[in-house]
Amino acid sequence: MGESSIGKFRKDREAQNALVMKYAGKTVKKFYNVDMNAYQPGALDRKTKEMLGLVASFVLRCDDCVLYHLDRCREEGVTDREVEEALAVGLVVGGSITIPHLRRALRAWDGMKGSRTG
């Protein structure tokens, strides 16, 4: 997944979230708020929390969530080796059923590498 693909993902996600918020009641809005606040720095920094989100999403086999957390990991300065080790933990926990998701995750990560800043 190259920059144009991740750009399309971001644009689609933003549009879909806007639609959700158009219809959202208190429960949905509170959930989104909890989600946002869970990734704020605390005892763990954002980088670590994004890697945790990546592994959890990977084990749950949510490709959209994996892509979102890969994008956030990239923004937080996660290295290739850190992504590989995080996904290796997910593979151990999730088992062989996660292998197709591993392939897609690493294809996306590899495609994002050209869009790194710094």
Q: pLDDT (tens digit, 9 = 90+) per residue, 11-29? A: 999 999 999 999 999 999 9
Q: What is the pLDDT of residue 117?
A: 42
Q: What is the mean pLDDT of residues 65-74?
A: 97
Per DSSP, 2 falls in state: -
Mean pLDDT in the chain?
93
pLDDT tens profile 76-115: 999 999 999 999 999 999 999 999 999 999 999 999 986 5
Is the pLDDT reported for residue 3 higher than 60? no
Could you tell me what percent of the chain has a pLDDT over 90?
89
- For residue 23, give the amino acid letter: Y
Phi, psi (degrees; rounded to nearest 5) at 85 = -70, -40
Question: Which domains, and CATH codes, for the chain?
Answer: 3-115 (1.20.1290.10)
Is the pLDDT reported for residue 116 higher than 80? no
Is the pLDDT reported for residue 1 higher than 60? no
- For residue 54, give the amino acid letter: L
Q: What is the pLDDT of residue 9?
A: 94
CA 94 to chain centre: 17
Q: What is the pLDDT of residue 67?
A: 97
Long-range contacts of 83-90 (CB under 8 A, 24+ apart): 83/51, 83/54, 83/109, 86/51, 86/54, 86/55, 87/54, 87/55, 87/58, 89/55, 90/54, 90/55, 90/58, 90/59
